[in-house]
């Protein structure tokens, strides 16, 4: 159902995080209508495995407030894996040699908002440095068991709602739980 | 976790559907950062009950393509119930004397996108006119049984994903199904 923003769309506003595009589209009566869509900078999100635990951090950001979240950030280049590695190291001080692209999610609440969030799994993470926060984040690294991780699905402070349906299914269905465990721990 | 766009935020772009705001926020190191958020025009969506059926229409829009959707539109005024009544009449030719505001959803994929979608239930709908489509929509009114309605939860063409978790729960849990049936049919 959803398509990409057409190539001939005009960039009518360039913001710090959001670009707005407009273009003409032929309507059903043959007239032209102005269509508008927003592209938000792509994101990366990391499911970081440390031993038999998964990192779900206690975070705080100006304006947003406190929340529970996976290591994440903006995708700044063409190579989202590089962005994920950089974010994990900067935010948490952890690195991994076993990365896998898991899936890329799109928002579904609007057919006119474009934002790709690239989810990665980083297994066997180890700490090699202290976190270096930028001025817009505070974070405490918290390692949680797999059961604690899947129980996040109905926690209103858990921010990664793209994962919630999967975590919910794993909470109620033993075979889906095993499938998710194998996916994450390899 | 989410807040409103601050009152002192500056409107930096006004589009046909999306307004972009920017404002200064104090960062954790005392410096100021520029924050940016998008407000999309509010929407109204109607669960329209006709006899023992629920309206889930076959629709088509330029750019968006074909989809299955509830009667819906933009909230143009302060009174979203009036907007809902207007959209139902214009799109489908149906009216109701038994309206209830059900809930208002916010998108959860971004803490910086503001869009309120007001869901209404309209019971005992009756047809009083022919639909009057604007040039940007084509629609066939389709009445579906309650069982067909809840089975929409995993239909990729069904657009009202705010409802999907409720429909999914009703598909697997008899007491939730009865609760939803009572809510919709009154």
Q: What is the 3-state secondary structure (H, E, C) of chain B?
A: CCCCCCCCCEEEEECCCEEEEEEEEECCCCCEEEEEEEEECCEEEEEEEECCEEECEEEEECCCEEEEECCEEECCCCCHHHHHHHHHHHHHCEECCEEEEEEEECCCCCCCEECCEEEEEEECCEECCCCCCCCCCEEECCEECHHHHHHHHHCCCECCCCCHHHHHHHHHCHHHHHHHHHHHHC
Which of 72-101 (B) contact A at CB < 8 A?
none
Checking ipTM against 0.95, whether it exceeds it is: no
The alpha-carbon gap from A161 to the nearest alpha carbon of chain B, in Å, equals 7
Closest residue to A62, CB basis, from B33, B117, B135:
B33
- Does the beta carbon of B62 lie under 8 angstroms from any beta carbon of chain A? yes
CB contact (8 A) between residue A109 and residue B27: no
User: Chains A and B: how many Cβ contacts under 8 Å?
Assistant: 141
Average pLDDT taken over every residue of chain B:
93
- Which residues fall within 8 angstroms of residue A87, CB to CB, at 6 or more apart? A44, A46, A71, A72, A73
CB contact (8 A) between residue B36 and residue A18: yes
CB contact (8 A) between residue A64 and residue B1: yes
**pLDDT per residue over A9-42, tens digit each?**
999 999 999 999 999 999 999 999 999 999 999 9
**pLDDT per residue over A51-97, tens digit each?**
999 999 999 999 889 999 999 999 988 899 999 999 999 999 999 99
CB contact (8 A) between residue B113 and residue A112: no
CB contact (8 A) between residue A1 and residue B156: yes
């Amino acid at each position: 159902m959803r398509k990409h923003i057409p190539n001939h769309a005009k960039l009518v506003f360039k913001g710090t995080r959001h670009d707005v595009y407009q273009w003409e589209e032929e309507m059903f009566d043959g007239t032209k209508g102005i269509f508008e869509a927003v592209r938000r900078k792509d994101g990366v999100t990391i499911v970081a495995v440390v031993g038999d635990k998964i990192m779900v951090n206690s975070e705080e950001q100006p304006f947003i407030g406190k929340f529970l979240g996976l290591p994440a950030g903006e995708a700044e280049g063409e190579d989202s894996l590089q962005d994920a590695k950089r974010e994990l190291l900067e935010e948490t001080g952890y690195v991994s040699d076993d990365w896998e692209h898991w899936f890329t999610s799109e928002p579904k609440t609007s057919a006119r908002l474009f934002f790709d969030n690239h989810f990665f799994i980083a297994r066997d993470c180890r700490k090699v440095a202290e976190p270096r926060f930028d001025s817009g984040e505070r974070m405490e690294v918290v390692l949680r068991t797999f059961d604690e991780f899947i129980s996040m699905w109905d926690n209103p402070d858990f921010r990664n709602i793209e994962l919630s349906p999967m975590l919910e299914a794993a909470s109620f269905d033993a075979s889906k739980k095993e499938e998710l465990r194998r996916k994450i721990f390899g």
